[in-house]
Structure 1
């Protein structure tokens, strides 16, 4: 009997992990047991095995920039240190010329393959602003994928235009939008959202807009922001709402769990959250994500942005297969002062090589560009 098999037999979650290794998805009750267990190393052995079975000892990444096109926002989320109210001296909105200049510089310097476009909920921007920006990027930089706008930004555009979110998505796709990031999910439980982002769209609306995106041919990422006011039951509910939608649409390409960073946010000011959750919780969340979504959502991202390179290297051995993006120009997490929030592709490739893995540059749709 192997050492790992002995460990499985002795562990309080051994039955769940054995079932996972045999292709059986954990149930919501199983997921709750995993969240309550301290046997994170054993979870990592099981989830790492499932990941290597599918991808080998290889991790992908995308050369990208984040284009935070405006910081003007009327949603006042307590977890955000980035936004400014309309009329603030520090408010900004990029012009089309500024957008073109940033994308061109990034293409010339880094040969980026994706631009991740996210900003605030700015009531002064009409849909034509987004259409013109997407058309410009797709026409002038055809090798760069346009991955943009959270569901809540789509909802904001629909409200400004007094039209449906599905109509907005169709028009944006026509203009050049290619996929949707998972932002705005936080935790898909309204009792949590009522505390951290009471003005943002509901959980049902996030799921509905994602389903609409999938239905018009826009694949997406799904995310979870944990480590604030949620409990384990809320996390389980979030996981299985994503499972249910993915079983229906197959529209999610990746899942990204990331921990809340409280610095400089209202949640820290109001003593709701004083510090982040740390590395062990990240590894647990990565491992459980792989176990829950194995065979359903192909890619789990390492979440280096809030946890740093060392934790991302560990995450790749605990169930993640994708390092994420270079994120040059990122402004949202950097406003919390969390850490340096951009990497070059060389730093990512070196980090992947350091753990004995091959690095694979990919495009916006997780298609391989080259093995490094």
Structure 2
């Protein structure tokens, strides 16, 4: 099944705000909607500003007064967006390329229809991938651990410095995590974030699994328990690492790209009379061409092309097929599989 952005996006509770509202209010909206960003639109409901959780963390780490600083002062202008009918794989590629983890979803008029984060994609996408395709080990990283009396501002600085969205504190043998929602709760409730302590908000003990735990099983475990990260245990050293559902969303993308092409085109073509066999032999050598068929009727040949993206399909057709002088005309059909018969 080809998953589209509209199949996974959040559309019921859009985190829309005015540009002149404060960062503290933005934290309140994120927390209320359980989303890691807010959006400002123009009068046509086209996204014009985006403030993400990471941008909020950056502002707090820099010591700004979030009760007086406006969203517009820290938001991204001309934000990256994704179309509602794009595939979730295209959304993940856009996130990876632009280093963003929160995308407004727009229709063909560029009007906002929803928002999407990697976790929204991961929970649906991993249901389409068999067990045994990947483990969590490749994505696991060292946790950022702070003393219990560290302030919320110190947590923000640690998150900003390490490019993470959580910090941990030790409680005996366990690690308690200050999650995104815990951090936002502190930002909303506390007047003095320098005085507010991480220990007062890091309430949840992180779940532990072996470092070799199956990636699909890890995502299912996170979804069942309403968490976005796991502690991965090294069996010999007993050291701990962290893997997030965002990490595993990109693992899913890597797995799908390894499994094979997802974009298919059929190119129907007419060639110079008597040269069908010669052209077919040349075509089969073109990158991404998987099959060349001779057919009766108004066309001479049908060429099947498979690639990872539609852009790659287009490049193969324009640069390698339509440039052949012997090809008189073509008709290209871009195909999406509806049903696949498996042995």
Q: TM-score range by the shorter chain?
A: under 0.3
Structure showing greater relative contact order (alpha-carbon pairs closer than 8 Å, 6 or more residues apart): 1
Q: Which has the higher helix share?
A: 1
Determine which structure has more spread, i.e. the larger CA radius of gyration.
Answer: 2
Q: Which has the higher strand share?
A: 2
Normalised TM-score (structure 2)? 0.22
